[in-house]
């Protein structure tokens, strides 16, 4: 029994309890002790076996061998998982640091734009006036109201010319309106 527990006893102490059970049976329980409070609770799960003294003499060593093997395998698996998580966290930190450094380093285009001659003063941004609100017109049916014309900027006046298509459209609209007025005049005397 103690030969089977020897590999476990090299890592931690154990408590062995033997209690009498019914009908001349005995219950043997082996409790591994926690090494510290932060240790995984799975490493302190006990094993308990109940049987006659003869059965315990025959089967307890093999049960303890399986228990100690499973316990050591679990401990090794937990240690490997912790190491892998630590490596992954370290890699993530380095990757995040590399991304942060790459974002903060100036690029070649910003380096050249920063080296402007001292004789060229920077142009201040021209303040923009808020758009003047317009009211809707009955004749603007189906189109959005156009904003009031803004005075041209003093630095770049741009003349606006009406295209020939615009004047043709205006003439067509006026012609349709005058035809509509003639039709309305013919209906009024009949009423």
Residue 80 lies in a domain: yes
When divided into structural domains, the chain yields a total of 1
More confident residue, 145 or 135: 135
Residue 64 lies in a domain: yes
- Contacts of residue 8, defined as CB under 8 A and 6 or more positions apart, other chains included, come to 14, 32, 68, 71, 72
Over 60: is that where the pLDDT of 82 sits?
yes
pTM above 0.85, yes or no: no
- CA–CA separation, 22 and 66 (whole Å): 26
* Residue 84: per-residue pLDDT: 92
Residue numbers of the domain that contains 28: 2-104
Q: Which three-class secondary structure state does DSSP give residue 45?
A: coil
Is residue 68 a contact partner of residue 4, using CB atoms and an 8 Å limit?
yes
Residue 74 lies in a domain: yes
Residue 146 lies in a domain: no
Residue 93 lies in a domain: yes
* Residue 85: per-residue pLDDT: 92
Over 80: is that where the pLDDT of 4 sits?
yes
Residue 152 lies in a domain: no
Q: What is the mean pLDDT of residues 67-84?
A: 89
Over 60: is that where the pLDDT of 148 sits?
no
Residue 169 lies in a domain: no
**91-133 tens-digit pLDDT:** 888 888 888 877 776 655 555 555 555 555 566 666 666 666 6
Q: What is the mean pLDDT of residues 40-64?
A: 89
Which region among 121-130, 151-160, 167-176 has the lowest average model confidence (pLDDT)? 151-160
Residue 145 lies in a domain: no
* Residue 28: per-residue pLDDT: 92
* Residue 25: per-residue pLDDT: 92
Over 70: is that where the pLDDT of 156 sits?
no
């Amino acid at each position: 029994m103690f030969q089977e527990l020897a590999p476990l006893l090299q890592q931690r102490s154990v408590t062995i309890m033997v209690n009498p059970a019914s009908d001349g049976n005995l219950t043997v329980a082996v409790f591994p002790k926690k090494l510290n409070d932060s240790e995984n609770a799975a490493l302190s799960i006990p094993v308990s076996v109940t049987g006659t003294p003869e059965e315990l003499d025959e089967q307890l060593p093999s049960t303890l061998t399986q228990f100690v093997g499973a316990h050591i395998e679990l401990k090794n698996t937990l240690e490997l998982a912790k190491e892998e998580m630590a490596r992954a966290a370290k890699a993530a930190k380095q990757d995040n640091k590399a991304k942060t450094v790459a974002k903060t380093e100036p690029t070649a285009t910003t380096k050249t734009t920063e080296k402007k001659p001292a004789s060229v003063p920077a142009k201040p941004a021209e303040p923009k006036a808020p758009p003047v609100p317009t009211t809707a017109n009955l004749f603007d049916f189906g189109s959005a109201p156009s904003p009031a014309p803004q005075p041209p900027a003093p630095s770049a006046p741009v003349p606006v010319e009406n295209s020939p298509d615009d004047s043709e459209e205006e003439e067509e609209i006026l012609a349709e309106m005058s035809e509509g007025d003639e039709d309305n005049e013919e209906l009024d005397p009949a009423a």
